[in-house]
Structure 1
């Protein structure tokens, strides 16, 4: 397993980490704890040392599953647990941003309890909170860091200006932006900034909510409690465009003796400024193709071919700006 230092932290993370959003069940059609625990145990067995989760993933369910699996594995000291904070909720329909110091203090204690640990390796702010000054949030995480409750400080979905403001108040070891070969706008903005400022990156959405696994076709459908039921990438004409691109990418991957999933993850890993790509899974068999991601790289000609395939097939792409995330607290109806 390839590893890299995460920014200026002391963490050596594998270049593919395990994402556990779907394990929480919420927005993914329900949870299967037994399968999820087995997937985490399998990931640790094959060399993945980074497991990324968040309280909002199933409102504590994902963190609880991760905590159980890591404890049962006996590998806590060799596992980098990454979780997040800065969101608050009142039921599944009302979720808002809250990165105030008071909220973060509560979330940290809740996460430590669910993860069955006395420290968190990487603690990240899930989304920037426009109603809490960044320096308040940054100083709070820096206090956790100095107290030894967390080993590294991270953010998620922050742009360059927000990171610049953060760095005036506290260290920053990583950012977690969205990146896949269908949604690549940030590779020319956020990733260069991180690269220039020695800030590590973990990518979310690496497989475009499963589109880049190559498992879907025109007949694929999703239940109402699955986010893809209403996600813009999976709607009618646009969905067909993405499927056309995936079909052509499959042909390209096959010529290299690879799958479209392996090609897609390799594409992310080969982008400048990327430290680790998160691979979302909730069953062990979904990780079987990991080995084929390593030991090769895409050439400049390969990257140009991939870009041509995507630009030609997807004439109505989902713009990066549409990734809004949860609303600010003041806009939530009570």
Structure 2
């Protein structure tokens, strides 16, 4: 396993986060998956107040294994579609969601806390002040944003610096080799080229959700297969099919699979990144481990993303 550091967290953080979106219950297959992840050195989990019941299941597993202090928990709050009608990016919703998340997880703090959506009509000042209260209370170790534009994150961090507050120390948008034509879900943000250039400049860690673009590079899709309406709507474009063809070519040269190339692309950006993964079995997880150890050169990353026509030999 490889690791990064995020300001405010005194633990090393595995570059593969285990997502909990499919963690519906704790039966033998789920336990085997979680055991495989821990045995491989993984220690970071992604969940959210809005993920129906997932925090409770993760909390149950934490209580059974007694591993809480060795692990890094990222949870998210203030999602628009979470109980009361949205938007909900305000101090009251943050306070409510965080308290409920801590109770569900059975812990008195989370290592990483992110706002799950943004409301650009709300000033950043009250939001950052509220989050800093929870930092000071020890309920959160580091704060970040999920599905915020990099310009809003910059604005929030400038406000924090001017008011002696702690700013966002990570960003969690979508980042994948396949570029979405439109938001996969309402309010979701994907890291475009301008965002990536901002991350190069700031070196703010990026924790990528849907890092494998919903399986676009799995070989289960083709331009003629239009049965999955969401995949067609979000990812079917000439440029993405060219990215797919290049991933296939590079995979053949390296003796791996295209989906491993796609995950490696996310992990070998010129700024700190992690990938949130959702493997369904230990075999898929070990494939992700191989992707993490499959180093890509900067030229290969640029070629895969159509930023250059050839890879210099």
Q: TM-score range by the shorter chain?
A: 0.7 to 0.9
3-state SS, counterpart of residue 140 of structure 2: coil
Q: Please state if 1:175 is matched with 2:171.
A: yes
Task: Give 1:165 shift.
Answer: 2.0
Partner of 1:40: 34
Partner of 1:266: 264
**With CA pairs under 8 Å and 6+ residues apart, which has the higher RCO, 1 or 2?**
1
3-state SS, counterpart of residue 213 of structure 1: coil
Q: Please state if 1:74 is matched with 2:79.
A: no
Contact 2:178–2:243 at 8 Å: present in 1 too?
no
Contact 1:269–1:277 at 8 Å: present in 2 too?
yes
Contact 1:9–1:173 at 8 Å: present in 2 too?
no
Partner of 1:314: none
Q: Please state if 1:142 is matched with 2:132.
A: yes
Q: Please state if 1:192 is matched with 2:190.
A: no
Partner of 1:121: 111
Length-normalised TM-score, structure 2: 0.81
Distance, in Å, in 2 between the alignment partners of 1:247 and 1:32 is: 37
3-state SS, counterpart of residue 4 of structure 2: strand
The 5 A counterparts of 1:23-34 are 23=23, 31=24, 33-34=26-27
Length-normalised TM-score, structure 1: 0.76
Distance, in Å, in 2 between the alignment partners of 1:218 and 1:37 is: 37
Alpha-carbon RMSD: 3.1
Contact 1:80–1:121 at 8 Å: present in 2 too?
yes
**Number of corresponding residues:** 293
Contact 2:7–2:142 at 8 Å: present in 1 too?
no
Distance, in Å, in 2 between the alignment partners of 1:147 and 1:237 is: 43
Gaps in structure 1 of 5+ consecutive residues: 24-30, 223-228, 312-334
The 5 A counterparts of 1:166-315 are 166-167=156-157, 168-169=159-160, 170-171=165-166, 172-183=168-179, 186=191, 188-216=193-221, 229-231=228-230, 233-234=231-232, 238=236, 245-246=243-244, 248-308=246-306
Gaps in structure 2 of 5+ consecutive residues: 181-189
Distance, in Å, in 1 between the alignment partners of 2:120 and 2:306 is: 37
Distance, in Å, in 2 between the alignment partners of 1:6 and 1:199 is: 9
Distance, in Å, in 2 between the alignment partners of 1:144 and 1:42 is: 33
Cα deviation code 1:147-203 (max 9, x no counterpart): 000111111122232112211133211111111111287353223334433532201
Contact 1:245–1:309 at 8 Å: present in 2 too?
no
Partner of 1:13: 13
Distance, in Å, in 2 between the alignment partners of 1:4 and 1:52 is: 15
3-state SS, counterpart of residue 162 of structure 1: helix
Contact 1:37–1:65 at 8 Å: present in 2 too?
no
